[in-house]
């Protein structure tokens, strides 16, 4: 992440007092197995495991905690902090540490399984996956989330759409598309308008977005459609709901990413695993805008498999 170990230790000391908490800080080195360290902490009966970093670090820690019942705490010091934003967690290090030691609740969320790997937010194929794979750490440090957009714009020149063959809970779907995005929660675009925690991380459903964009204007229009949840009004974005399994193949093969990290190439099978991960989140508060948005989402997602946009 972007916090140095001294700053992290100081924030923990201020909020998780030594007389009340036994805290062990482990700094990951390149090539080390973070999962093994997390599993060791679980065996030693630590009550909470906190991930201090970006989405990749959070995903690595979460992979080792799934099914253990030990809650994950997130100290969001990375570039995107997508899961922290999706859960409406505090984005300052001090407030995130205070949440661990103070009043909070445990939320049990769904995850996606790809082979032996688990991911939380999204799996995608196409230009979005290429941009995440080719965006350097230096670029992310310098430009933040804008780095992914700049990489995607460079990759747009000469990019060719592919023929995708999908099975969504057994329903075959064939489409020529530039991107296919499978999400547990909001799309990365829709999350920009979030006013409260996502209610889609534990609703037992995945969203499958098939995006047909050929030009920069098409991509900008697709972003606008997803930002304002207008999928039913634009044929460039089709949406399906899945309750169990999504199978994805492409011709020619397409690059994959999961939660911002490279995941090889198609074909891939994505399985929904319900109620798999415990996460520390703020106590509930009433937010009228968030409640209204959640109600709209629930209405849109009722009735099983959804197809929008033709």
User: What is the topology classification, in CATH, of domain 117-276+286-301?
Assistant: Tumour Suppressor Smad4 (2.60.200)
Lookup result for tokens 């190439």? 265
Backbone angles phi, psi at 287, to 5 degrees: -125, 110
pLDDT digits (tens, 9 = 90+) for 113-167: 999 999 999 999 999 898 887 887 788 778 776 777 788 878 877 788 999 999 9
Q: Pick one of 2.170.120.20, 3.30.230.70, 3.40.630.30, 3.40.50.10330 as the CATH number of 5-103.
A: 3.40.50.10330
Q: What's the token pair of residue 68?
A: 């253990």
Phi, psi (rounded to 5 degrees) for 254: -120, 145
CA distance 303 to 301: 7
Question: Per-residue pLDDT for 194 more than 90?
Answer: no
- C-beta neighbour count of 90 within 10 angstroms: 16
Percentage with pLDDT > 90 across the chain:
57
pLDDT bracket for residue 304 (50, 70, 90): very low
Mean pLDDT over all residues of the chain? 87
Q: 273-295, pLDDT tens digit by residue? A: 999 999 999 998 766 665 666 56
Give pLDDT tens digits for 198-228: 778 999 999 999 999 888 788 788 777 777 7
Domain ranges of the chain: 5-103, 117-276+286-301
Count the neighbouring beta carbons within 10 Å of the beta carbon of residue 115.
11
* Partners of residue 250 on adjacent β-strands: 164
**Peptide linkage before 252 cis (omega within 30 of 0):** yes
The reported pTM is 0.86
List of long-range contacts for 191-195, beta carbons under 8 Å, 24+ apart:
191/82, 191/85, 191/86, 192/227, 193/227, 193/228, 194/85, 194/86, 194/88, 194/290, 195/287, 195/289, 195/290, 195/293
Q: Report CA-CA distances (Å) from 295 to 83, 107, 268, 290, 304.
A: 21, 19, 32, 9, 16
56 three-state secondary structure: helix
Asked whether the beta carbons of 127 and 159 are under 8 A apart, the reply is: yes
pLDDT digit string, tens, across residues 50-108 = 999 888 899 999 999 999 999 999 999 988 888 999 999 999 999 999 999 999 999 99
């Amino acid at each position: 992440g972007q916090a140095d170990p001294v700053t992290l230790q100081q924030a923990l000391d201020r909020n998780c007092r030594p007389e009340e908490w036994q805290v062990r800080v482990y700094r990951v080195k390149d090539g080390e197995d973070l999962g093994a360290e997390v599993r060791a902490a679980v065996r030693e009966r630590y009550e909470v495991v906190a991930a201090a970093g970006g989405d990749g670090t959070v995903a690595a820690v979460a992979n080792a905690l799934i099914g253990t019942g030990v809650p994950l705490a997130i100290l969001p010091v990375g570039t995107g902090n997508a899961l922290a934003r999706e859960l409406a967690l505090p984005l300052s290090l001090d407030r995130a540490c205070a949440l661990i030691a103070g009043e909070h609740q445990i939320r049990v969320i769904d995850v996606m399984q790809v082979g032996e790997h688990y991911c939380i937010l999204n799996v995608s194929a196409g230009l979005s996956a290429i941009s995440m794979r080719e965006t350097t750490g230096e670029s992310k440090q310098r430009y933040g989330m804008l780095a992914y957009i700049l990489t995607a714009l460079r990759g747009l020149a000469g990019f060719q759409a592919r023929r995708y063959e999908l099975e969504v809970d057994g329903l075959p779907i064939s489409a020529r598309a530039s991107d296919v995005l499978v999400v547990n929660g909001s799309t990365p675009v829709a999350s920009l308008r979030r006013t409260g925690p996502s209610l889609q991380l534990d609703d037992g459903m995945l969203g499958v977005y098939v995006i047909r964009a050929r030009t920069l204007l098409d991509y900008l229009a697709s972003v606008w459609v997803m930002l304002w949840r207008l999928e039913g009004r634009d044929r460039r974005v089709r949406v399906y709901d899945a309750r169990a399994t999504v199978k994805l193949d492409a011709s020619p093969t397409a690059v994959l990413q999961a939660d911002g990290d490279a995941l090889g190439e198609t074909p891939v099978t994505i399985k929904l695993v319900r109620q798999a991960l415990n996460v520390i989140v703020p106590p509930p508060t009433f937010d009228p805008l968030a409640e209204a948005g959640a109600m709209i989402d629930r209405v849109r997602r009722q009735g099983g498999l959804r197809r929008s946009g033709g």
